[in-house]
Chains A and B, each alone.
Chain A
Amino acid sequence: MSEVAVAGATIDLVVFRVAGHLFGVEACQVRGSRPADGNVSGMLDAECLLLGLPPAPPVTTRWLLRIKGDPEDWELCVDAPLELCRLEAAAVHRLPDLVGARTGLRQLRALALSGKEVMSLVDLRGGPVMPPGGSVTPPPHPA
């Protein structure tokens, strides 16, 4: 492995899915969560924020993540399952050079190997900043 990780270091993440794709955010950025009991109007949809897609009818149970904000907290609507997990630092990778240079998703900070999937690690401290329209690839339907 070419990246040097601090021996024994771990990171606590809140892991969720958006349109089938795996995302993680540092647990310290999340104040709490609650089930999105049907009415999610006024909440920011993660499909818009993280995938640049228009909101779609939910196909799974949805959750509202309450993200710590400055000055105000905000809520992000994500797909279940919502999990808290501890990841070893060795599993976290900086963005590949070309992805780092060309990503249109400013929240994307790193990638992590999680089983047979790649998890996108996002930093939501900057607030709900939408990606520029039309500049990103629509996600494929996950297998």
Chain B
Amino acid sequence: MSESSLDQILSQRHAARKEIVGLDDPAVKLVIFELGGDWFAFHGDRIREILAQTAVYFVPGCPPSIEGVINVRGDIESVLLLYELLRLPAPPDSCGASILLGQGGGMTSGIRVERVIDVVDVPQNSVQPPPSTLPEHMRPLVLGLLLFHQHTVTVLDLDRIFADYAKEAE
């Protein structure tokens, strides 16, 4: 066995070891999704449901960041677009495939996402605190950062997003 192969094996073992979740480590469920080319996540306990192919109805008088409303088994919920809030480039038309039905800060709303990547349990300590280099507008909205499949995932605070969004009108 060549040295380089051994190095590879040891490297793989080392990586695999890092992925083993200790039973005593508290885990957190995350719903990871893509928006504007970046990966984000909400805590799983804030997402009631993931809806696909749901008809969105226009409601007059809403700002562009509210796509409309959806009928969720007889209940009417709003659909929020996060592009403006997160200052992400919005696609030319609303092409997101899924809607996350979120609950936070005493409010419920759908959130349009381009793609749901995964729903995972990760060790709580793998979510790092937000760095000081985070843009000013993101600081209040971010709970932490996580490395997942070689992507940086920004964990967002849904309570704060809903509360700030509702407050903006005041």
Contact = CB atoms under 8 A, between A and B. Distances in A.
Contacts of B64: 137
A57 interface: no
Interface stretch (B5-13, B20-28, B71-79, B140-148): B71-79
A102 B166 contact: yes
Contacts of B62: 99, 102-104, 136-137
B168 interface: yes
Interface in B46-84: 55, 57-66, 69, 71, 73-78, 80
A137 B63 contact: yes
B42 interface: no
Contacts of A102: 62-63, 65-66, 165-166, 168-169
Contact of A98 (B57, B58, B165): B165
Given A96-B77, A96-B109, A97-B108, A117 B57 contact: yes
A136 B75 CA distance: 24
B162 interface: yes
A21 B57 CA distance: 10
> Which of A52, A93, A99, A135 has most chain B Cβ within 10 Å?
A99
A97 B71 contact: no
Contact of A139 (B60, B71, B107): B60
Contacts of B73: 1
Interface in B85-134: 106-109
A3 B61 contact: no
A26 B162 CA distance: 31
Interface of B: 55, 57-66, 69, 71, 73-78, 80, 106-109, 162, 165-169
Interface of A: 1-3, 18, 21, 50-52, 93, 96-99, 101-105, 108, 111, 113, 116-118, 120, 131, 135-137, 139-140, 142
